[in-house]
Amino acid sequence: MREQSDSKPKKKPAAKRGPAPKPAGRRNNSGPRPSRPKPPEGSREDKPARPSRPPRDDAKPGGRPARPSRPPRDDAKPGGRPARPSRPPREDAKPAGRPARPSRPARDDAKPAGRPARPSRPARDDAKPSARPPRPPVRGTDEKARRPQKPSRGRGPSRPPEEIQLDVPQELRLSRYLSMAGVASRRAAEQLILDGKVKVNGYVVRVVGTKVNPNSDRVEADGQPVNAQGPLKVILLNKPKGCICSRKDPEGRESVYDLLGAAGQGLFSIGRLDYNSEGVLLFTNDGNLAQSLMHPSASVKRLYRIRIRGLVDPQLGRRLLEGVESEGEMLVAEEAWVDGQTKSHSWVTVVLREGKNRHLRRMFEALGYTVARLVRVQYAGLETGQLDPGQWRELGPGELKAITALAAVVHRTRAPQ
């Protein structure tokens, strides 16, 4: 047995494979590519290549052999699947969609559409024809309610400014009529009536309460006809120093009416300035306008600049606001402050709302100061502007509207007398 086993041929040991090549790391483009190691003998790569199969006769030029095509069907469409036979239409079917439902029969007491109508209530005998008034038209829907369009600029000639007429009632007291005509103030007109210098329709009138009709009665004062009808007229004068505000002076001094000339006929001043004062002074032919602006309840703003000889106390403005007593009367300023000072004089600005006789001069005299110059810079918002002392001008339409509006506000706020 041992001999037989030893006679068998021994198998050759398998060839040992070399170590597997290490995987190449990240390629470095900077140097040459390393060559691939040769495989050891007896590996799979040393086996011979398999022989290729011979091509088939029915095979396509490349790829798998083509399958034989099926013969076409007789009932098939020219392309695609065969068409299915269509179903025969139903006799009770609509042309398209579901069959129509039968409509319900209409009710005899029903409306053509909607709920049945409720019976209307009988009208009451004492009811009004209409419970609510008609609504006003909405803006933009009615031609009358539409906002008027503004005229285009630069087309056509400009309209002349409208004149403001004097508001003269149909019947009024004679003294008020004389005041409105610019003859004199109301108190001075009453004195003229008492002196017998006024005539109505040719007869002298001495009763102060006499009433006249401006449209039918003829009034004369000092032999001159009086007419209160016509447009409103207001003149601004830059009053110089050394003039009085009265028409006549027993001493023969110059009057402000001498500066106005013919333009001052029928006008009287709104307030006054003393002989040595200067600045804004207004004249008008409307007595009501003048009375409204001069009344203490009007509180019309008056702005003054005063030059005082020497230096003044820095607390002078506070003392003027607190008030100064002079001749048994308390004089108060609305606003006051020191404008500037030099070695010889000081300038002080004062605002008053009520003008009394020599108001500012009496205040400074009571405090021990001497007034060297007093100028009214503004009255009711009006200033002299470019006017030299002694020159004057008429107010324009805009200024007239502003001053009449101010007088109207004053008239409404005053208590009835």
Encode pLDDT of 80-128 as tens digits. 565 676 777 676 655 555 656 766 766 666 555 556 567 667 666 665 5
Q: What's the pLDDT score for residue 1? A: 45
Please list the residues that pair with 156 across neighbouring strands.
Answer: none
Write down the H helix ranges in 248-396: 256-260, 287-294, 316-322, 359-366
- pTM, rounded to two decimals: 0.54
Contact 238, 378 (CB under 8 A): no
Indicate whether 305 pLDDT > 70: yes
Encode pLDDT of 38-91 as tens digits. 655 555 555 566 766 766 666 555 556 667 667 666 665 555 565 676 777 676
**Side-chain-facing half-sphere of 70: CA atoms under 13 Å:** 4
Sort 168 into a burial class: Cβ within 10 Å, 0-12 / 13-18 / 19+: middle
**Cβ-Cβ contacts under 8 Å for 216 (sequence gap 6 or more):** none
For 181, other C-beta atoms within 10 Å of its C-beta total 25
Residue from 389, 32, 341 nearest 237 by CA: 389
Contact 205, 178 (CB under 8 A): no
Q: What's the pLDDT score for residue 93? A: 58
How far, in whole angstroms, is CA 88 from its chain's centroid? 80
* Over residues 384-411, mean pLDDT: 87
Collapsing DSSP to helix, strand or coil, 368 comes out as: coil
Q: What's the pLDDT score for residue 138? A: 42
Catalytic residue among 109, 258, 274, 388: 274
Domains, the chain, with CATH or none: 163-228 (3.10.290.10), 232-299+385-417 (3.30.70.580), 301-379 (3.30.2350.10)
In this prediction, residue 333 has a pLDDT band, given cuts at 50, 70 and 90, of very high
Q: What's the pLDDT score for residue 125? A: 63
Q: Determine whether 222 is an active site residue.
A: no
Indicate whether 294 pLDDT > 80: yes
